[in-house]
Amino acid sequence: MRFAIFGDIHGNLEALEAVLAECSANNVDQYLCLGDIVGYGANPNECVERIREIGALAVSGNHDHAVIGAQNLNYFNAHARDAVIWTAKHLSQESKQWLKGLSLVEHLPDFNIVHGSLHSPELFYYVQTIKDADYNFRQMDRPLLFLGHSHYPLAFFDTAPMTYTLDPVIPLDLSVKTVVNAGSVGQPRDEDPRSCFVIYDDDSSLVELMRVEYDIESAARKILEVGLPQTLALRLTLGK
Ligand code: ZN
């Protein structure tokens, strides 16, 4: 099976369409979404509709949680808060209803998916260091965990000592617990503005980090046109 695993789409339809086209070209069998489908970008409804159309198994992110009123806005910085308020206003009842139905964690035979952290998923902790990853290793009842939230793609290994890699091709040893951050489709922050996601092939035990170009100008222009904070448009072009 080939799984496309992606998240942090953040209402960026141009980026999502580019990723889905790349998935089709790569013979993906199943789509898994790591949450934050909405927030920041100008097309939250369209992104929710596309995720539903492709039948992706999705988990809820902190932005998805916030726009349905399930997350305290004090946890967000000013621009994120403005985006949550704008998104909540423009999201259809149907989209909100669907977001409400998402779980925080989903379980597959040899991996889990979560937005922030398997350790207290409702608190949306970031997994950015080996120590953060270690909290997750202790919670894992499967060899693999895919997550997002930091918008920074990398993988951690529960070896002795624990290690991490930024390599785009990650051969897996299922006897070693591994946490993979799939980066962000709609708002990359690792100074590479291209959309980011992973393909996991369980036959070859390989995780591949994919980067895809998309129409950044159009996504940024729409952010400005609808009156979302200017900085949210600018950061797309910078990839940070
Ligand atoms: Zn996010």
pLDDT score, position 74: 84
Number of neighbours of residue 59 by Cβ within 10 angstroms: 25
| Section 113-124 average pLDDT | 96
CA 188 to ligand 1 centroid distance, Å? 9
CA 21 to ligand 1 centroid distance, Å? 21
CA 177 to ligand 1 centroid distance, Å? 24
| Section 224-238 average pLDDT | 97
pLDDT score, position 70: 79
Question: Counting every residue, how long is the chain?
Answer: 240
Residue 7 has pLDDT above 90, yes or no: yes
Q: Any bridge partners for residue 3, and if so which?
A: 30, 200
Residue 232 has pLDDT above 90, yes or no: yes
Q: Percent of the chain having pLDDT more than 90?
A: 97
- Give per-residue pLDDT as tens, 170-222: 999 999 999 999 999 999 999 999 999 999 999 999 999 999 999 999 999 99
| Section 79-91 average pLDDT | 95
pLDDT score, position 153: 98
| Section 13-24 average pLDDT | 98
CA 184 to ligand 1 centroid distance, Å? 7
- Give per-residue pLDDT as tens, 151-171: 999 999 999 999 999 999 999
CA 62 to ligand 1 centroid distance, Å? 7
Sequence-separated contacts (24+) of 72-79 with Cβ below 8 Å:
75/124, 79/229, 79/231, 79/232
CA 137 to ligand 1 centroid distance, Å? 22
Helix (H, G, I), strand (E, B) or coil at 212: strand
In sequence order, the 6+-apart residues with CB closer than 8 A to the CB of 226 are 42, 86, 90
CA 28 to ligand 1 centroid distance, Å? 23
Tokens, residue 226 = 């609808």
- Give per-residue pLDDT as tens, 47-71: 999 999 999 999 999 999 999 987 8
CA 113 to ligand 1 centroid distance, Å? 15
**Band of residue 134 on the pLDDT scale cut at 50, 70, 90:** very high
Q: What's the Cα-to-Cα distance from 224 to each of 42, 79, 88, rounded to whole Å?
A: 9, 13, 18
Q: What's the Cα-to-Cα distance from 177 to each of 14, 79, 112, 120, 128, rounded to whole Å?
A: 34, 36, 12, 18, 16
CA 56 to ligand 1 centroid distance, Å? 18
What is the reported pTM? 0.97
CA 10 to ligand 1 centroid distance, Å? 7
pLDDT score, position 72: 82
CA 35 to ligand 1 centroid distance, Å? 8
Residue 15 has pLDDT above 90, yes or no: yes
CA 149 to ligand 1 centroid distance, Å? 5
Q: Is the distance from CB of 37 to CB of 51 less than 8 angstroms?
A: yes
**Band of residue 13 on the pLDDT scale cut at 50, 70, 90:** very high
